[in-house]
Structure 1
């Protein structure tokens, strides 16, 4: 299963309330408490509100 590339919306905060940098992340899934896990690389991941994410490169209209 491939992971989707996502972008975070401006002013997105992680589950601790800290702003995270805008840019592309890999969407890893949603945990039991409803947070979306997104990662820059194997060492840098964030839990964010799924509503703060936008798919990158999805079907163009």
Structure 2
């Protein structure tokens, strides 16, 4: 993944938060590669949520997430 990669969450994307699933807010995020997942960071640099690499690729292929 290129440094400073950015994405737009366009449609409904859910992520696991403890024992429940949360809906990720639509909008632009900076990506951060972690050992086995992808971190989505807000413009302020704060971490918003993470997705497994498999889930990230699935949402990208389905058009819910777009690289910019």
TM-score bracket, shorter-length normalisation: 0.5 to 0.7
Rounded to whole Å, the distance in 2 between the matches of 1:54 and 1:31 is 22
Q: Is 1:31–1:37's contact at 8 Å kept on the other side of the alignment? A: no
Q: Does 1:22 align with 2:26?
A: yes
Q: How many residues align?
A: 54
Q: Structure 2 vs 1, CA of residues 26 and 10 (structure 1 numbering), >3 Å: closer, same or farther?
A: same
- CA RMSD of superposed structures (Å): 2.0
Scaled by the length of structure 2, the TM-score of the pair is 0.61
Gaps of 5+ in 2: 60-64
Scaled by the length of structure 1, the TM-score of the pair is 0.66
- Give the C-alpha shift of residue 15 in structure 1: 2.6
Gaps of 5+ in 1: 57-61
Larger helix fraction of residues: 2
Q: How is 1:1-61 mapped onto 2 (pairs within 5 angstroms)?
A: 2-16=3-17, 17-32=21-36, 35-40=37-42, 41-48=44-51, 49-50=55-56, 51-52=58-59, 53-56=65-68
